[in-house]
Chains A and B, each alone.
Chain A
Amino acid sequence: MPDAETSRDLLRQMALIRRFEEEAGRQYQRAKAGGFLHLAIGEEATIVGTTSVMEERDYLIGTYRTHGHAIARGTDPRNVMAELFGREDGTARGRGGSMHIFDGDRRFMGGYGIVGGNLPIAAGLALASDYKGTDEVTVCMFGDGASNTGNFGETMNLAALWSLPIVFLVENNLYGMGTAIARHSAVTDLSHKAEGLGVPGERVDGQDVVAMRECVADHLEIARRDRRPTLVEAFTYRYRGHSAADPEVYRDKDEVEEWQRRDPIEIFARRLIDAGTIAEADLEAIREEVEAQVLDAVEFADASEEPPLDSLYDNLYVFGADHEGWYAVDERTPDPFRGEREREAAEDERVRELHEAGASYGGQVRRSGGGSGEGPENGTDAPADEAQADEEGGTDGGQAEESRQQGPGGLD
């Protein structure tokens, strides 16, 4: 067992993730968060057991179910919640959403919406560590469903072939979306699934945070010392549906309840109390602490601004020292009628400035979802498709003007 302070922290982190996810679900019901929302309730020990034995310099890369992974890596829950809300203070300023949390400072190299899409990227991170001669390790977490993608086979082979320092960690929650593992994978013992490709594996109880820590620590050590990949299969379970929109017709309520009796947080809390490491009062204090933290995160996210429209093109391209220039949206017209009104446009101060800045193709009204119905610039008649765009998603005309003026973000 870890020492008292570590144990209390593990418990607190798991409780924080649980409470965060519950609240995220609630905010989703209130339509504060949009898109898809994948909650990791039930999988907290798998997450925290892993991150708690990683070094700061190690990379972690995950799936579309990674609010908790970022938080466990040290990302402020406020920023994660703000990303769910699509706000300015989100981890990606509202560009990524729930499925694409990222925190480069903490080497949380992203959540990814494409099943299996993160595996090759993990190989690249590990290759870079090796190339630079560091002892960093990459932990690549993915679901049981991803083990059926081509990327799984390709990446396992490459990682073994090149002896890359990776711990592949499959969070086997027994379902690829709504398809049970026996219905989607010929080999259901996933710890063996990469053996033929040169990556040996081990199964561990993903509901036991201590077992997770010990297992992952061993595998980190193999990667760090022997510079070779291994696979950990964490046997775990998610209590909620695949996403918030999942009616869960594919599993019995009994099954969910049975797993809930093995709840990773309750089991660990009971063990700590039984061992006298913590008291009931500590448990209550943790509950209150994470409750306050999560409510604060919601308040913070709610108060965070919507991203400004003129930030639409920010960070689409990098403008390096070597090559300044306009790369983005180079094929957009400042307004679709410029050719017809060239003489007028020449007199139009704004268009002239834009043109001189080389940004003249930014933020065409009909594509930026803007348009006040007054048409671009001089209020000429909008063509049919633009009028339609207005109906579909018109936003404030003034902001659209601002957006156009700004042009491609990187030019600033």
Chain B
Amino acid sequence: MATMRMREALNEALREEMERDESVFLMGEDIAVFEGAFKVTQGLMDQFGERRVRDTPISENTIVGTGVGAAMAGLRPVVELMTVNFSLLAFDQIINHAAAIPYMFNGQVRVPLVIRMPGGGGHQLGPTHSHSFEAMFLQIPGILVACPSTAADGKGLLKTAIRDDNPVIFVEHETLYGIRGEVPEDDHVVEFGSAAVRREGSDVTIVGILKMAHEAERAAETLAAEHGVEAEVIDPRTLRPLDLDTILDSVRKTNRAVIVEEGWPHGGVGANLAALIQEQAFDHLDAPIQRVTGADVPMPYSKRLEQSAIPHPEHIVSAVLETTSGALP
């Protein structure tokens, strides 16, 4: 085990996969000379050269589309978009092309493309650089969606994403680049579709993604210390494929569920998961499923307003207590 930051873990995944497979190469705005807006690609141009670590013009749709074409012709491009908001400029290539091509051409070609993008609020970047679009990506058949919350998962999921033959949206959280964590040595891969149970508990299931997986753990500590509530915390790690079984097993045990995400409430990750849980474990629920989401507004700039638009542990604690009120000590 080595302790490293998320950013370093992602960097190591890219480096190792590029060493392992000549067909892996990187493209993105300011990733080579500048070494990435968030320094994830630090040192890679020096090691692999400009053929494999390519600065691109600011042309998101074309960067992703070039990745699609290169992937169709047998390469494994890893595209970096500078923020999730910029991915909106590439939605045509992501949805109409990357996701559709294997299906609409009946499997004659594959699109083994990874599109990395940092998102989330907390850095006062305002309404065009701070959003959480996991739910939008989750909706698209044909792509996979990974959202790591720890350094180990960052490395393990990114390696899996690069080796996978499907287009993968790889969502990173801007405020998690600096977090440290233990990362297993050698070829550490994390399988897609395998949720992590971060904390075991018997009273309520809290599902959280990205930064909200951490907030959920903090809330769980408060719940145990101050309310005598033992929460089970689950991080799905990938939203497509989704390890629904682990979540359902937990809900069948705890009979309560709270889902936490930073994205918008309508049609969100939580809305989707709540529907799935009630469809398949309705009889096991002792209380309505609660969702904790970001506020239903474009992300404001003001630090005070921004923080109020992002879920915090106290919101999660309140939501949990809603599900347990009257039923637990």
Contact = CB atoms under 8 A, between A and B. Distances in A.
The answer to whether A binds B is yes
Interface of A: 59, 61, 91-93, 95-96, 100, 102-104, 109-110, 112-114, 117, 119-129, 131-132, 150-151, 154-155, 157-158, 161-162, 314-320, 322-323, 325-331, 333, 336, 338-340, 342, 361
A234 to B, nearest CB: 22
B65 A117 contact: yes
Contacts of A330: 193, 240-242, 244
Contact of A125 (B73, B193, B242): B73
B102 A316 contact: yes
Contacts of A95: 103-106
Contact of B69 (A92, A104, A121, A322): A121
Contacts of A317: 102, 142, 144, 166
Contact of B283 (A100, A102, A340): A340
Nearest to B100: A100
A124 B279 contact: no
Interface in B245-290: 272, 276, 278-284
A124 B106 contact: no
Interface residues of B, number: 61
Kindly list the 3 A-B residue pairs having the minimum CB-CB distance in the complex, ordered from nearest: A124-B69, A120-B65, A315-B107
Given A318-B165, A336-B279, A339-B280, A327 B72 contact: no
Interface stretch (B38-46, B90-98, B121-129): B90-98
Given A95-B105, A110-B101, A154 B69 contact: no
B103 A124 contact: no
Given A318-B110, A331-B272, A340-B282, A120 B62 contact: yes
Nearest to B70: A124
B63 to A, nearest CB: 8
Contacts of A316: 102-103, 141-142
B51 interface: yes
9 contacts: A102-B109, A120-B64, A124-B71, A155-B65, A158-B56, A317-B102, A331-B244, A338-B279, A338-B280
Contacts of A319: 165
A257 to B, nearest CB: 37
A356 B193 CA distance: 16
B96 to A, nearest CB: 5
B66 A124 contact: yes
Contacts of A154: 57, 59, 61-62
Contacts of B197: none
Contacts, number: 192
Given A117-B97, A150-B61, 19 more contacts: A92-B105, A96-B104, A102-B108, A110-B105, A113-B96, A117-B65, A121-B97, A123-B62, A124-B65, A124-B68, A124-B72, A127-B75, A128-B74, A132-B75, A150-B59, A162-B54, A326-B193, A339-B284, A361-B244
Interface string B161-198: 00111100000000000000000000000011100000
Contacts of B69: 61, 109, 120-128
- B59, B165, B278, most chain A CB atoms within 10 A: B59
A326 to B, nearest CB: 6
Contact of A318 (B93, B107, B192): B107
Given A92-B105, A124-B69, A333 B280 contact: yes
Nearest to B89: A150
B191 A325 contact: yes
Contacts of A158: 56-57, 59, 62-63, 66
Contact of B279 (A102, A315, A329, A339): A339
Contacts of A361: 244
Interface in B189-242: 191-193, 240-242
Nearest to A336: B279
Contacts of B102: 315-318
Nearest to B93: A120
Nearest to A320: B165
A124 B67 contact: yes
Contacts of A333: 276, 279-280
B133 interface: no
A128 B73 contact: yes
Contact of B109 (A104, A127, A326): A104
B160 interface: yes
B137 interface: no
B310 to A, nearest CB: 26
Given A131-B75, A339-B278, A155 B241 contact: no
Contact of A100 (B72, B74, B105): B105
Contacts of B57: 154, 157-158, 161
A331 B104 contact: no
Contacts of B242: 330-331
Contact of A339 (B77, B108, B241, B282): B282
Contacts of B244: 330-331, 361
Contacts of A128: 69-70, 72-75
B56 to A, nearest CB: 7
B283 A119 contact: no
Most central of B62, B279, B282 by chain A CB within 10 Å: B62
A273 B93 CA distance: 48
B78 to A, nearest CB: 13
Contacts of A315: 102-103, 106-107
Interface in B4-30: 25
Given A125-B69, A333-B276, A320 B97 contact: no
B243 to A, nearest CB: 9
Contacts of A119: 62, 65
